[in-house]
Each structure stands twice: as C-alpha cells, then as structure tokens.
Amino acid sequence: MRPILAVDVDGVISLFGFDSPPPSTEARYELVDGMLHCISLRAGKRLERLAEHFDLVWATGWEEKANFYLPTVLGMAELPVITFDGAARFGSAHWKLGPLDQYSGDRALAWIDDNFDESCYRWAREREAPTLLVPTDPAEGLQEVETEALVAWGLSLAAEAGD
C-alpha cells in the first residue's frame, strides 16, 4: 500500500506573510468565501508529482472547500478530505492529530503543513507506522526541496517493501 500524504492548504498552497508578492507566473489571487488568497501555481505541479508516490488527502480546515476552489486553479483532480468537525484552529496543527490518526490507521503517512508544534512531532515519533512531518514556510509554501524530500522518502518506503 502506498503511503498517505496529508496536505494542508494555508501556508502550503495558499501563501501568506511574504514581503513582496510572488510573480503572476507563480501565484494567482483567488477569492475564497470572500477572503483573498494567494495560491501557489507551482504547488499543483508538485502535488501531481507527489501523487505518483502517495495517496494524497486534504488535511486542512478548508475541508470540502479545498475541492471546490483548488483543483481548477491548480490543474489537478479532487482529493479525499479529512474532516475535522469544526475543530479547526488557526495558528497550530495539533487539532488535526486525532482525525489524521484515525484516517491513516497503520499506514505510512507524510504530512506537509506550515504549523507543526511539539505535540505533532511527538505524535509522529510515537506512531508505529513510518511518519514524516514536512514543515513549510507560509510565505513560500510547497517548494522543490520539500517535494524532492517527499519523493525520496516515498521511494525509500517502496524499496523497503520490495515494490
């Protein structure tokens, strides 16, 4: 079974906190429920590459809104969504742990997010299945370095499994 890649949106795909906005060739502004978001266009291509090695799932407070707004902008298919039953809190990712744990079960899991705290790292260390947390800078989002690290990790798991 392929590993899961849990994908956050804010700070991974929707960029914020930058000093100067990215060029229009790299990002596009979109209204999402009346709020302006700077969407990284490069993230779509990177997620497509990652989908060759992982089963992608949205792990975001956006929940189903991610599939409503992002596939067209990013040029990708809709993804399964982890629901958080209103637990979303800005400024930390720890509220995602229970639903992520339930969704992933005993499968290998990589999680890309801009807001890990110590409880997230502790949870990852204590999981029995291989687990990789990949932090991003919210001003830059998913970059090539994180993409390459995820691909290498996915390939190493496949090699261990003899795939």
* CATH number of the structural domain spanning residue 12: 3.40.50
Domain count, the chain: 1
Range of 75's domain?
A: 4-161
Ramachandran area for residue 90 (φ above 0: left; ψ -120 to 50: alpha; else beta): beta
Residue whose C-alpha is closest to residue 16's, from 102, 119, 136, 118: 136
pLDDT of residue 58: 98
Tokens at 2, concatenated = 């392929």
pLDDT of residue 84: 87
**For the chain, which residues score pLDDT lower than 70?**
86-93, 163
pLDDT of residue 86: 65
Tokens at 103, concatenated = 């969704």
Buried b (16+ CB within 10 A) or exposed e, 85-116: eeeeeeeebbbbbebbeebbeeebbbbbbbbb
pLDDT of residue 90: 57
pLDDT of residue 91: 57
Tokens at 66, concatenated = 């991610």
